[in-house]
Structure formats: C-alpha cells, structure tokens
C-alpha cells in the first residue's frame, strides 16, 4: 500500500494524476465525502468553508500500487595505512546510486520516483579519514545527499543537494580519562528551499534533508 500523491502541490497540473482529481466538485459531492470521513471536514485554510470555492477534490487514499521497480549500485572502498609507533590512517568512501519508478494504476504511464522531491535522490555518499594513535584520534567525514527535481511546480525546478562535514576528536588522558569534541554539520549547511503552496507548508524536502545546523558537543568520560 502507498499513497498515489507524494504532495497535493502540482497534482492539478500534472496529467498523470487526472484520474485522481475531481475538478469543480458539486456541493453534494463534497457533503457526501465529508459525511463518509471518520474525522469529518478538516479545514486548514484559515478561512470559512464555502462549497462553491472548492476547486478540486484529490483522491490521496492509500492503495495497491500496480508496479514499482528499483535498481541501484553501491560502491565502497577502504584503505588503511600504518604510520608506525601505534599510529595509523584509515580512508573510507561509500557512494550509492538509486533509480526507481512506479505505475500508479494499470494503463497509466510510468513515473520516476528517485530523483524527485520527497523521494530519495539518485546519489548519496559519505567519505572521510580517521587518524589514530594510542592517545589521540581525529576523524573527519563529508556527507553528500544529491539534489532532486521539484515536480510540484511547472516548469519543474532543480533543488540543489546538501553537503555536510563532521569532525570528531578524542584524547586519552592519564587515569583512564577521555576527552571528546564532536562537531556535526561543521559549516552549518542548510537545505535548499522548495515550492510551497501555503504559508504553513515546510519549505524544504523533509524526506531527504535535515534542517539541524551546526551542532557541537563536549564529552568527558572516566573509566574504572
């Protein structure tokens, strides 16, 4: 089961969703749907509900999707270099590519999922290096989430991906004391804006990108 509409925005202009849209519904049609709903009418517009002002009804109910197809490629590399005197350098890299599409209903054309807003991007990756010795560890990683196409607006708009950098250090002190300093999203990267149809809609792709900015932490631990 899956919802046929990732978002109501853009559904009125995309011909793929024509079977899910009832334009200019009558007051009787609206009353019938409201009466059949378990929670009744939920009006998020902030204005008075007037049947004559309703432009369309969207059928976003979960349903059995006729077909979905996925394909992908993963690549991972690891390299470790001894530096002598209990020191070593490790280099790691992971990258993946994903393609996916679905057919909403029989006889409808296939539509792309991966690479579109609110679906996974085609490319994601993480790479970094770790230096460690008997008393000190320094690690830095770069995280990349590829961009997506905002299909909610016509013409479609490209939404840039997001790159963050994490930095972690750990120092082992005498008497089994450890001091750790961590920085997530060191350069305070922010997700790109997407199209929104209302003031209360979230202005970024919440499925793929995090709005949390730079986050610093200090940890002191003692072992016995």
Q: Which pLDDT value is given to residue 157?
A: 94
DSSP code string of 93-129: EEEEEEEEEEESSTTSPPEE-TTBTTS--SEEEEEEE
What are the residues whose beta carbons fall under 8 Å from the beta carbon of 37, sequence distance 6 or more?
A: none
Q: What are the angstrom distances between the C-alpha of 26 and each of 9, 32, 45, 52, 57?
A: 22, 10, 19, 8, 10
DSSP code string of 161-192: -EEEEEEEEEEEETTTEEEEEEEESTT---PP
| 35-59 pLDDT tens trace | 988 888 888 777 889 999 998 998 8
| 194-208 pLDDT tens trace | 998 777 889 999 999
Question: Cis omega (within 30 of 0) on the bond before 155?
Answer: yes
Region at 96 (left for phi over 0; alpha for psi -120 to 50; beta for the rest): beta
Give the pLDDT band of residue 4 (cuts 50, 70, 90). Answer: confident
pTM for this one?
A: 0.73
């Amino acid at each position: 089961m899956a919802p046929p509409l990732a978002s109501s925005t853009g559904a009125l202009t995309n011909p793929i969703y024509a079977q899910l849209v009832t334009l200019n519904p009558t007051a009787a049609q609206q009353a019938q749907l409201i009466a059949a709903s378990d929670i009744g009418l939920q009006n998020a517009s902030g204005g008075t509900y007037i049947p004559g002002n309703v432009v369309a009804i969207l059928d976003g109910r979960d349903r059995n999707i006729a077909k979905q197809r996925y394909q992908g490629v993963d690549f991972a590399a690891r390299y470790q270099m001894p530096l002598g005197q209990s020191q070593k350098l490790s280099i790691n890299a992971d990258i993946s590519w994903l393609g996916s599409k679905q057919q909403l209903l029989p006889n409808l054309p296939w539509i792309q999922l991966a690479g579109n807003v609110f679906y996974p991007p085609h490319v994601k990756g993480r790479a970094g290096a770790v230096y460690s010795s008997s008393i000190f560890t320094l690690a830095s990683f770069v995280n990349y989430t590829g961009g997506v196409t905002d299909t909610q607006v016509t013409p479609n708009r490209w939404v840039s991906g997001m790159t963050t950098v994490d930095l972690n250090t750990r120092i082992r002190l005498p008497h089994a004391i450890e001091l750790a300093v961590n920085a997530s999203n060191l350069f305070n990267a922010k997700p790109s804006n997407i199209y929104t149809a209302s003031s209360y809609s979230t202005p970024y792709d919440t499925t793929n990108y995090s709005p949390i900015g730079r986050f610093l932490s200090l940890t002191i631990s003692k072992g016995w």
